[in-house]
Amino acid sequence: MSATTVDAPNAHELARFYQGLLGWPTRKEEPDWVEIAPPDGSAGLSFQTEPHFTRPQWPSTPSEQQMMMHLDIEVDDLPSAVETALGLGATLADFQPQDDVRVLYDPAGHPFCLWIRIDSSGA
């Protein structure tokens, strides 16, 4: 796999958000397409402008556009990562299902999770 593609009303705006969040450089840029990826060249994210984009609803409801996928991003410091995401234009979801995860919405409305690994060994 080379990338996951995310539809957005404006590919460039959403790519800038995730570049700020992840610190990844641009790999390719076209008028309605942007690819970002980690410097090591592994799989990245692509953003495609979709003129008929509809924001997903999460938690899902039968009558709204449902979330098709979401990104899970592991972080070292959850409060700091949430603060950074909010500063870049994310919004915090009202429903938060777990203490070690924060669900946010990117500027286009896609839900994504920031999470921190909890040591299950008790150490």
Tens of pLDDT, residues 65-84: 555 678 999 999 999 999 99
The span from the CA of 8 to the CA of 70, in Å, is 14
The H or E element containing residue 11 is: helix 11-22
CB-based contacts of 123: which residues, under 8 Å, 6+ apart? none
User: Is residue 43's pLDDT more than 60?
Assistant: yes
Tell the burial category of 70 from Cβ atoms under 10 Å away from its Cβ (0-12, 13-18, 19+). middle
The predicted-structure confidence for 100-116, as pLDDT tens digits, reads as follows 999 999 999 999 999 99
pTM confidence score = 0.86
> Who's near 29: CB < 8 A, 6+ residues apart?
12, 35
User: What crossing angle do the helices spanning 78-88 and 11-22 adopt, rounded to 10°?
Assistant: 150
